[in-house]
Amino acid sequence: MSKDLSILINDFSIYLEKESGFSKYTQISYITDLKKFKLFMIEYLGKGQVRIFDIDKQSITHFLGAEFEKGLSAKTIGRRLASIKSFYKYLISIGTVEKNPAVLVKTPKANKSLPNYVDEKIIESLMNAPDTSTTAGLRDKAILELFYSTGIRLSELVSLNFGNFVSSKQLIRIIGKGAKERLVPYGNKARKALNDYLQNTGRSLKIADTETPIFVNSRSERISQRTVQRNVNMYLRLVTEGEQLGPHTLRHSFATHLLDRGADLQAVKELLGHSSLSTTQIYTHIQPERMKKIYRKAHPHGGK
């Protein structure tokens, strides 16, 4: 069996595609990372061919260090290391190597970035952005209102069926990560936008088949995540500036605005479907200026 790194990466690629069960995205990520590692090793060793036994803990550490120097995030570098570790697990399973040197390399800690959110003052402008004289515009307005009203994830919204709605109580039964179920209320504006959309398409929450998708495309098929992502991004760019705008921005806005208005952190955790309170706590670090204003106004010695 060849010990050439290029051949082994190619073999690993075939294994990922045919046997691993990993998603296509994960497969591409692993192979892309390993090819970058191979190019580094060629330069690191100063020779055109790299054999698997040329690699050790030190060379892997140097590779990650070089990636840090390029300005890549800790999260990306952590994925590079995870790709190498998975590659070695495969090599051990087929008997090419006996040990995994990547196991000895520590995964870099990713810094938690503060989530983007939309200011309350421009939420109304956002909700008025879709052209509600069209079916697509009515659908998009309902999507925006539901995202902001419930804080649900993109995948959760796209998978919504009529059977998920308890319309008499304005609740949605959501199946989140790990198949965990939660009930989330939705507000009156979301209810109106949803009813306007459904009425336009000749449907109703009361009479529809429970397995029928709520949001559909022009062919009456369940709308894709990519379409929702693209459309929400477009509407957000009409009213605000920033990077990485999309459905997650409205999820973050939902949580931030609830906490701004005094909501309990534990309650927000349940609404978002977080498994850990520490995940929700990132939102408590978003509002330092607001906290300063409250302090200056409320504390006896807080003012000028």
Judge contact between 223 and 158, C-beta under 8 A. Answer: yes
Distance of CA 74 to the CA centre of its chain: 17
Q: Give catalytic status of residue 62 as yes or no.
A: no
274 is catalytic: yes
**List of residues 6+ apart from 105 with CB closer than 8 A:** 57, 60, 61, 64, 81
Catalytic (active site) residue 177: yes
The owner of tokens 């949605």 is 172
Sequence-separated contacts (24+) of 268-277 with Cβ below 8 Å: 270/182, 271/150, 271/151, 271/182, 271/184, 272/151, 273/152, 273/153, 273/156, 273/174, 273/176, 273/177, 273/180, 273/182, 275/177, 275/178, 275/180
The DSSP secondary-structure symbol of 51 reads: B
Catalytic residue list contains 251: yes
Indicate which residue of 79, 139, 141, 153 is catalytic. 153
From the candidates 47, 112, 177, 237, which is the catalytic residue? 177
Options 80, 139, 141, 251, the catalytic residue = 251
DSSP state of 222: B
Active-site residue, from 62, 85, 173, 248: 248
Q: Which of 148, 197, 235, 283 is catalytic?
A: 283
Asked if residues 115 and 252 have their Cβ atoms less than 8 Å apart, the reply is: yes
Q: Please identify every residue annotated as catalytic.
A: 153, 177, 248, 251, 274, 283
